Amino acid sequence: MTDQTTRAGFIALIGEPNAGKSTLLNRMVGAKVSIVTHKVQTTRARIRGVAMEGAAQLVFVDTPGLFRPRRRLDRAMVAAAWSGAADADVVVLLIEAHRGLTEGVEAILTGLEDRAPDAPVLLAVNKIDRVQAEVLLALTQKMNDRYPFAGTFLISAEKGHGVADLRADLAARVPEGPWFYPEDQIADAPLRSIAAEITREKLTLRLHQELPYQLTVETEAWEDRPDGSTRIDQVIYVVRDGHKGIVLGNKGETTKAVGKASRLELEEFLGHRVHLFLQVKVRPNWLDEAERFDAMGLDFKDGGTA
């Protein structure tokens, strides 16, 4: 194909925490590139997934959920989300059908009005299987009365309903031009970062409500061995000694279970055997260290003063 017949563009997925942005990204790409849990605020950086739709290459930016920030990390996450929207060719606001026009969604709409993005903004009402048709109709009318969306789509990111129509619309909207990535590439994040995110997902699923937001995972070493396997060494940073005990679990059982689950998913993702080694280290001030933010793909300066 020539440059004249191809299209490529960036699509920012924005919304409240847990609206289903990561699930939609993975559905669009056809593979898991962003972590998905039932806990909110699990996406910390702008994760890019790449999908092909005919001659169009769609680069999806799964932004952190937009919420009221309290800490430096929160502020950097929210700044990353708005930056992703500002840089996009198309913006998709994802809301939950059963929650509707919440206070958080209202705040996002106000933010869109204040920033007036040049890109068209589409509305995607997710989890449509949770409400009746008349509720959906009333909600879409209310949302479009509130903001001039360029299009509205009713979807279930988890089950795939309506996603093909949304993807086709996006393909028609992105500008003509050459593709940004090879046709078979599904993400632009380094493998080391994807591996760290997979382990962090397993920790988030395993541990109690508050702790996951006070830990981070970094891939310290990556060795592709002559036998075709890969050795991966990762460090889990926590802020307190007490948290280290929780992450390790009784006789290390929690870390072992997390390591096994992460290793199995990494083997499926990479297509070969993986040797995964996890360490847990206490680093009290990691939430205020620029290098930790860099590892997560966030701008330390966006967090402001702690």
Averages of pLDDT over runs of 10 residues in the chain (306 residues) are 73 84 85 54 59 91 56 54 68 93 90 82 95 95 96 95 96 93 73 83 76 75 91 91 88 93 88 93 74 56 47
pLDDT value at residue 155: 97
Contact 78, 15 (CB under 8 A): no
Query: Are residues 25 and 152 part of one domain?
Result: yes
- Residue after which a domain boundary falls, among 111, 144, 173: 173
Same-domain pairing of 159 and 200: no
Q: Which domain holds residue 299?
A: 191-303
Same structural domain for residues 60 and 167? yes
Q: In CATH, what number is assigned to the domain containing residue 202?
A: 3.30.300.20
| CATH code for position 66 | 3.40.50.300
Q: Sheet with 90-96: list strands edge to edge.
A: 47-53, 56-62, 7-15, 90-96, 121-126, 151-154
Residues 100 and 161 in one domain: yes
**Total domain count, the chain:** 2
Compute φ and ψ for 8, nearest 5 degrees. -160, 140
pLDDT of residue 104: 86
Q: For residue 183, is it within any domain?
A: no
Alpha-carbon span 54 to 176, nearest angstrom: 13
Q: How far apart are the C-alpha atoms of 286 and 215, rounded to whole Å? A: 9
- Quick check: is 105 in a domain? yes
Of 173, 201, 217, the residue that ends a domain is: 173
